[in-house]
Structure 1
């Protein structure tokens, strides 16, 4: 008879609301802090890098030779706007790389949780060791792939398209300064996120949360030191992040090997004796989350590109080197990514519980965990909508958006997020299908929202905005109205798929067991 640890007993018999909170809070921390790295770097850059930009002679000369406003003198406000746009483009490239890290981390976490539910300590250790090596090797591939998209001598594809190929060289140079150290350190990003995710799945979510809080403080402190003491530009901000990754990995490994009951204590041979089935499962189970994150980033890049070509911007770019819509995108996108990361954190914690219950053959819990996850995610997204409704101007001003233009664009934010709460349906369906190894269904429902519906709406909105072009930015509200329908349309489709799936499995998912060993569920 297998003896269950205290944590496993809680997983099997704890009040489900409490279990969902216990497992979701650490993953919320991990996902939110991971999404906050570029946001913190943006705030630090706006506060400290702007002055370095004003002191950097090549930037001053370029501005004098190419921009006519203010007699070619680079002002602090314009410098801050350049830093703002550069950090936004950098954060999207960061998120593109991070979406690859999500693939191996969540695939490993789900596979680990399944073995954890079976109380199979040996296989769990093998999976944890294999996942470290797989993640390291995959990070090299991902870093090289992203490098091909952003290398200056190969046209900086991602950077150019978001600047409409007419953006300031200063923005391009600042962006590259942030990106190249990040690409070199991509293994640290990947392994850091993997270990934090596995710690949460191993029941050590409190430690994962503490590490993430410590890492964000470390990031801020070292970034300020590099920028101020080293007189660096955006490379100083990312160097602080890289240091925090290294410290986080070190602490995570200490916790794993100091915990005698940990299922993550892999042996050296688990690092190089790779099982083909583990490799297959990690990529198979992580694929839906990868596609979802990749799609979110890709559509953000697509949207930023479309925004750069929306009506009423040519004159602004020619005069100032940037436009009001680019500043708008740079000011609101970080908040949307941050708010979304909380929903993803809830889903990830619930996913581990579902996978554990699936491995433990406690099928009746799966529906109840899914329902609780849906309530939490949707409740959070409702709060997000009202925050955008009431505080959009304040949110945008945090990231150097011109105060005099806030009232002009605040309704764009509201239109863009008007059906955001319905995204809870898509998040919940993906969580359920991934947790029970229905990878094909998980891929379909995660793709609908971000890969299929939203790109179509982006293109339709772009066409309509140009159809009503009056030479100003007024017609652009049609664009934001159309893309705001995304979660309404995709939510209805995914809701039907989810309802049909649950109706066919009501006997296993909805019917409570009669065994005396099972506790009543609250």
Structure 2
């Protein structure tokens, strides 16, 4: 059985990148829009509430890193099996992935009693720590839903189907946008209302994925959940974790970098500095949304080409994706720069957050130089994940996020004495140097595959 997604996946790599990434760009833009709307509504509660969301964001980022990493591992494994024309194995991987997502989601919930102590231990003010706990504990309760949703999306992406994930994410995001002001202000639940609205929207999205995966049969993978299939198959977990663990650790390293960056910023700019960074980084997250979508396409197309032992197709997809992404991000950078005053006002409209306006404007102007170079690093990581070399992605991401960015931020802020703006300079300089190095290594790995990749030595 060859679905439309699989046909795209195995066809022209340029067309495959476009057809896979375009629906995801729409979905992720809508999803990030609701994140921004969420922040805008929370901003009306004052800078402590805004800082509290920023304090919890690295923790939530870790949850997303684990969820997305395991999802990438499953998606990559499924794509490689499609390239190998092995539908049975692809289906087994999908089933084991769903079971795994529920197990991890349940385990994550045991962290709730320790959240507040961690926030206070990191040196945040008590009122901010209390608000961060109110928000974060509810979000973690929804972790089972989060993990299942991301895994369902990963399975469909692995077989080249991104339209269904787009529909599910758009529906959930719109519901969240509607519920936010009702729960936060009308019902008077404050920051807890923002978290409850998010969990409810995730539940709606999860129900859609459950229907498509368990009830609808119009998929390449065949979900049976027979007795012999629900028994843990450790070879499948090994294949998923070989990509998934490095992918998760790579994202977690970025979260750890944010923790450290928050610490540096707190020294220089206090609570206001953290609020500026967390708010500004949400805007950056919106700007790089197309990259996440294109990266998902690169994982799937590179994975299928690797399974089919076609390194030339890997190279074509990789280089085309980077060119496409650089153009997209250059346009994004210009648009955000032109709209900087208006965007900054959305997060500083209340009396309690108005004093953050100039700082957010300054941050966004510096980040203009960040967007166009990010594709070199992000899509190189995606290519490595597709071809079962996620450990390369992990090492290079740690080098970029923890070593280069933090060291550069420290040098510009303290050694050169530029203060808070020096941190923004360091982020740009550290990222720029490291992504160029990542791209050169990516090209070298592909050239090596051209000489060595055969059906005998392909790794699953």
State TM-score, norm by structure 1. 0.78
- Which stretch of the first structure deviates more once superposed, 186-195 or 3-12? 3-12
Q: Does 1:354 align with 2:302?
A: yes
Which residue of 2 is the match for residue 488 of structure 1?
A: 432
Residue segments in structure 2 that go unaligned for 5+ positions in a row: 454-460
Return the match for 2:18 from 18, 21, 29.
Answer: 21
Return the match for 2:72 from 106, 113, 128.
Answer: 106
Return the match for 1:126 from 86, 92, 97.
Answer: 92
| CA 441–42 in structure 1, closer or farther in 2 if over 3 Å, else same | same
Q: Does 1:11 align with 2:9?
A: yes
Contact kept, 8 Å, 1:92 with 1:300, in 2: the verdict is yes
Q: Deviations over 1:176-195 (max 9, x none)?
A: 11111111221111111111
Separation in structure 1 between the aligned mates of residue 212 and residue 28 of structure 2, nearest angstrom: 20
Deviation (angstroms), 1:253: 1.9
| CA 278–478 in structure 1, closer or farther in 2 if over 3 Å, else same | same
Return the match for 1:263 from 210, 216, 221.
Answer: 221
Return the match for 1:303 from 221, 237, 261.
Answer: 261
Q: Does 1:434 align with 2:385?
A: yes
Deviation (angstroms), 1:365: 1.1
Q: Does 1:504 align with 2:448?
A: yes
Contact kept, 8 Å, 2:5 with 2:161, in 1: the verdict is no
Which residue of 1 is the match for residue 458 of structure 2?
A: none
Return the match for 2:275 from 327, 330, 338.
Answer: 327
| CA 345–269 in structure 1, closer or farther in 2 if over 3 Å, else same | farther
- Which stretch of the first structure deviates more once superposed, 441-450 or 266-275? 266-275
Q: Deviations over 1:409-447 (max 9, x none)?
A: 634433355244222221122122111112332322333
Q: Deviations over 1:227-256 (max 9, x none)?
A: 345421211111111112222121112123
Return the match for 2:58 from 92, 102, 114.
Answer: 92
| CA 363–492 in structure 1, closer or farther in 2 if over 3 Å, else same | closer
Q: Deviations over 1:319-369 (max 9, x none)?
A: xxx43x233223312111222333122111221111112223333211111
Contact kept, 8 Å, 2:348 with 2:357, in 1: the verdict is no
Separation in structure 2 between the aligned mates of residue 287 and residue 384 of structure 1, nearest angstrom: 31
Separation in structure 1 between the aligned mates of residue 336 and residue 208 of structure 2, nearest angstrom: 37
- Which stretch of the first structure deviates more once superposed, 211-220 or 263-272? 263-272
Which residue of 2 is the match for residue 461 of structure 1?
A: 412
| CA 30–137 in structure 1, closer or farther in 2 if over 3 Å, else same | farther
Which residue of 1 is the match for residue 41 of structure 2?
A: 44
Residue segments in structure 1 that go unaligned for 5+ positions in a row: 51-79, 314-321, 469-473, 510-522
SS at match of 1:9: helix
Separation in structure 1 between the aligned mates of residue 166 and residue 279 of structure 2, nearest angstrom: 27
Return the match for 2:326 from 378, 381, 393.
Answer: 378
Return the match for 1:117 from 59, 65, 83.
Answer: 83
Separation in structure 1 between the aligned mates of residue 140 and residue 329 of structure 2, nearest angstrom: 32
Q: Which entry has the higher C-alpha Rg, 1 or 2? A: 1
Q: Deviations over 1:145-168 (max 9, x none)?
A: 5x4652x2x2525xx63xx54x3x
SS at match of 2:369: coil
Separation in structure 2 between the aligned mates of residue 459 and residue 261 of structure 1, nearest angstrom: 50
Contact kept, 8 Å, 1:44 with 1:220, in 2: the verdict is no
| CA 393–350 in structure 1, closer or farther in 2 if over 3 Å, else same | same
Contact kept, 8 Å, 1:30 with 1:197, in 2: the verdict is no
Separation in structure 1 between the aligned mates of residue 13 and residue 314 of structure 2, nearest angstrom: 10
Separation in structure 1 between the aligned mates of residue 448 and residue 41 of structure 2, nearest angstrom: 52
| CA 17–338 in structure 1, closer or farther in 2 if over 3 Å, else same | same
Q: How many residues align?
A: 449
Separation in structure 1 between the aligned mates of residue 144 and residue 4 of structure 2, nearest angstrom: 34
Contact kept, 8 Å, 2:6 with 2:220, in 1: the verdict is no
Separation in structure 2 between the aligned mates of residue 409 and residue 218 of structure 1, nearest angstrom: 28
Separation in structure 1 between the aligned mates of residue 419 and residue 384 of structure 2, nearest angstrom: 40
Q: Does 1:477 align with 2:428?
A: no
Give the alignment's Cα RMSD to 1 decimal.
2.7
SS at match of 1:309: helix
Return the match for 2:366 from 409, 412, 415.
Answer: 415
Contact kept, 8 Å, 2:312 with 2:450, in 1: the verdict is no
- Which stretch of the first structure deviates more once superposed, 121-130 or 389-398? 389-398
Deviation (angstroms), 1:374: 0.8
Deviation (angstroms), 1:505: 3.7
Contact kept, 8 Å, 1:82 with 1:171, in 2: the verdict is yes
Q: Deviations over 1:42-101 (max 9, x none)?
A: 233345xx3xxxxxxxxxxxxxxxxxxxxxxxxxxxxx2233222222333322221111
State TM-score, norm by structure 2. 0.88
Q: Does 1:200 align with 2:157?
A: yes
SS at match of 1:485: helix
Which residue of 2 is the match for residue 183 of structure 1?
A: 140
Q: Deviations over 1:121-175 (max 9, x none)?
A: 2212211111111112122333435x4652x2x2525xx63xx54x3x4332222
